[in-house]
Structure 1
């Protein structure tokens, strides 16, 4: 049974362990360990979840099974896992709350546990579970926190000044220009290869190049890339001391290896202090800024959904609330009748 679990992440240098290898770290009975291996393999190979998602789900299941081990007083097996009642699941959720974990974190963890149980039932490993009747914790509704257009432009232009090596400064400018100009996630930007960058003569009819992006769930989308973004990338490549083939990573670290996203996040953190930007000024905020500024400029909501790679229009609709909230803030600050 465990032999059917395939590698979670094929063909990357920073690959996760296979389903069997990852499941080996669980201190549970052998039949449950085999079920975990099948689930981890399914997440990566069939559901095509991103590496970070697979790893987060694995940690969530490990947290749950660690609690259940103490709760039952022994390493659980499949039969015991199947026999858990709603009170057992609620006890686990209460333990997370007592540890100070946020409701959003527990909601994600619960989603991971439900995913494991659903697959176990589908594969005939267990018959049923009372988990399906358990409600997800109510989460506070949060809106995206974009930067203003001047803040976004200032961040993009100023980030290069923080680096001693000019080519690294050009690299960071290219990355932020790409995030703000194309609405990419940082993981999507760092997964690009040199061959993904449009050639100078490979322009679309409207003067824009096209960029093929592999997003969440490994869903592919095509986004236009502005000439200013292409220019920033090519400026970086011209200065980069490391060469490469079309299949090599576009953005590299100081030693020529795969660039760690934490370095860009840290650079933005330093930039916040230098420019007096809000705490919400992160690389991901530039993606929010891309969507919000497009919408404010009259962009079509469906088109923005496609550009961002959202599976559901309701996710994109959050940006309409951001735009309305900004309009009300301007109104309340400036209109002479606002305070009457």
Structure 2
């Protein structure tokens, strides 16, 4: 896939190959399950670093404690004044279930992501985690926002084929306007050529 150059200052998009390499690299690390959840919360659900740090089990479980099919973010951890709901991908649901299974005495208000000291991870801790993760995998230009940009771009590229629109992408991203959502989306030169040839 050919991509146009990203605007200056924006986090780099992660390719499918890079995503697989990162997930494979996490298998060999301490806190592998937690780290996979952190990575997939950004690339499969578009969460910001602040939202990853603020996520509670009550936002991903039902009344019986089972992992649900969607993340229900509350306004308290989102940017702006509204919460939002994001459907859970199969991959993310599976790693959340594994993390939950291997955690002890979880309460609904407990953070999903804990530091090595078993305390709530801070926003800055999440940002640092991603800086080291991408550096260790040789990815230049990536930051804690790369997964989010990747999620929004991939979603925008697929949403119309399943009957959705950019408005759906905007809602899942938690943006106040479509113009903000559009600024996150990476262009695709090949798609442009194919689209023009269909006219």
Calculate the TM-score normalised by the size of structure 1: 0.47
Q: In structure 1, how many angstroms separate the alpha carbons of the residues matched to 2:171 and 2:155?
A: 13
Q: Paired residue for 1:145?
A: 12
Q: Which structure has greater helix proportion? A: 1
Higher relative contact order (CA 8 A, sep 6+): 2
Residue 152 of structure 2 corresponds to 291
The question of 1:210 aligning with 2:70 is answered: yes
CA contact (8 A) 2:60 2:67 kept: no
Cα displacement string for residues 282-309 of structure 1 (whole angstroms, at most 9, x for unaligned residues): 2211000001112223542111100000
Consecutive unaligned residues in structure 2, runs of 5 or more: 1-6, 194-199
Partner-residue secondary structure (3-state), 1:211: strand
CA-to-aligned-CA distance 1:64-87 (integer Å, 9 cap, x gap): xxxxxxxxxxxxxxxxxxxxxxxx
Aligned mates of 1:210, 1:188 — CA distance in 2: 15
For residues 87-143 of structure 1, the C-alpha deviation after alignment (integer angstroms, 9 at most, x for no partner) is: xxxxxxxxxxxxxxxxxxxxxxxxxxxxxxxxxxxxxxxxxxxxxxxxxxxxx9755
Deviation track 1:211-239 (CA, whole Å, cap 9, x = no partner) reads 21131123111111123212101212222
CA deviations over 1:308-335 (Å, ceiling 9, x no partner): 0000111011244x22xx426x98xxxx
- Specify the alignment match of 1:277 in structure 2: 139
- RMSD, aligned CA: 2.8
Larger Rg: 1
Alpha-carbon distance, 1:185 to partner: 0.8
Contact 2:156 2:166 in 1 (8 A): yes
How far does the alpha carbon of each residue in 1:12-33 deviate from its partner, in whole angstroms, 9 at most, with x for none? xxxxxxxxxxxxxxxxxxxxxx
Deviations 1:151-207 (A, max 9, x none): 2332234234232xxxx221011111111111111211221212222358676xxxx
Structure 2: how far apart are the matches of 1:309 and 1:236?
Answer: 26
Q: 1:176 to 1:211 in 2, by over 3 A?
A: same
Residue in 2 that maps onto 1:231: 94
Aligned residues: 178
- Contact 1:198 1:230 survives alignment (8 Å): no
Q: Which of 44, 53, 70 is the equivalent residue of 1:190? A: 53
